Amino acid sequence: MSEGRWHGRLTARPLPDGPIDAPLSDDDRALVVQAWLGRSAAERRAGDSFLVIRDALLARHEPTPLVELATRAIDDEHRHAEICRVVASRYAGRELSAPGELTLSVPLHEGAAPELRHSLHVIGQCALNETAASAFLEACLGRAEVSLVRAALRELLSDEIDHARIGWAHLAAANVEHKRALAPWLPKLVRGYEQEWSRSFRAAAAEGPLGARRPRGT
């Protein structure tokens, strides 16, 4: 059983202590708590996704270091879920339970032969989703001011970059024949992830910036 990246510890360095004294209204604070709890649930689901990725890499006879990185990623995502729960708790000012588990729905890639389906899982989750997640976290880090939030984002980002590398390494190592077979599937795959990310950005934008939102129930 793997001890994970930090040998059983949650983070590389302890997260900063102390109360969060960001000037937030009660409504905004509740929204921040919900955002981090939602992130926690999504990270937990990403752990399930890496079970699929590990098995896909094994099925494709990928080298051991890549399979080990995907195995580590399962633990990484569980740590991320806990980091996000800790941040939510600190904003809430009390210890919160882990959110309910989200169910993973694995893309079907209907019509793709099994060896292509395995690669499409790896490319979709790692090369596309984790690369987009890394860019998103980097942008968040660029704007974050609270030391706990900056530390949490840094922890997540350092792992997501490795998770993205799994996808690019898999793609780089594929032979020409496999790459040719994958090519027709890629535009739809890219569009799917682009739409998913755009949808979540639109939903966040519709909420408006903190402090400018209408009180709940209005």
Q: How far is the CB of 65 from Fe ion (least distance, A)?
A: 17
Choose between 5 and 80: whose C-beta lies nearer to Fe ion.
80
> Do residues 135 and 148 lie in contact, with contact meaning Cβ atoms separated by under 8 Å?
no
Nearest of 18, 94, 56 to residue 170 by alpha carbon? 56
Q: How far is the CB of 2 from Fe ion (least distance, A)?
A: 16
In angstroms, rounded to a whole number, what is the distance separating the alpha carbons of residues 21 and 113?
54
Q: How far is the CB of 80 from Fe ion (least distance, A)?
A: 4
Region from 60-68, 99-107, 153-161, 170-178 binding Fe ion, contact rule CB under 5 A: 153-161
Q: How far is the CB of 79 from Fe ion (least distance, A)?
A: 8
> Do residues 153 and 144 lie in contact, with contact meaning Cβ atoms separated by under 8 Å?
yes
Nearest of 5, 20, 9, 7 to residue 150 by alpha carbon? 20
Choose between 43 and 62: whose C-beta lies nearer to Fe ion.
43
Pick one of 32, 37, 39, 43: the residue that binds Fe ion (CB under 5 A). 43
# chain residues binding Fe ion, by CB under 5 A: 6
Pick one of 79, 80, 90, 170: the residue that binds Fe ion (CB under 5 A). 80
Answer yes or no whether residue 163 interacts with Fe ion by CB under 5 A.
Answer: yes
In angstroms, rounded to a whole number, what is the distance separating the alpha carbons of residues 218 and 27?
13
User: Following CA atoms 104, 109, 112, 114 in sequence, which dihedral angle do they give, to the nearest 10 degrees?
Assistant: 0
Pick one of 128, 131, 160, 169: the residue that binds Fe ion (CB under 5 A). 160
In angstroms, rounded to a whole number, what is the distance separating the alpha carbons of residues 190 and 123?
10
Answer yes or no whether residue 72 interacts with Fe ion by CB under 5 A.
Answer: no
Answer yes or no whether residue 165 interacts with Fe ion by CB under 5 A.
Answer: no
Instruction: Give the Cβ contact number of residue 88 at 10 Å.
Output: 22
> Do residues 102 and 41 lie in contact, with contact meaning Cβ atoms separated by under 8 Å?
yes
Region from 11-19, 56-64, 128-136, 143-151 binding Fe ion, contact rule CB under 5 A: 128-136
Answer yes or no whether residue 155 interacts with Fe ion by CB under 5 A.
Answer: no
Choose between 73 and 112: whose C-beta lies nearer to Fe ion.
73
Task: Report long-range pairs for 144-148 (Cβ below 8 Å, ≥24 apart).
Answer: 145/22, 146/20, 146/22, 147/16, 148/15, 148/16, 148/20, 148/87, 148/90
Q: How far is the CB of 46 from Fe ion (least distance, A)?
A: 5
Residues that bind Fe ion (CB under 5 A): 43, 77, 80, 130, 160, 163
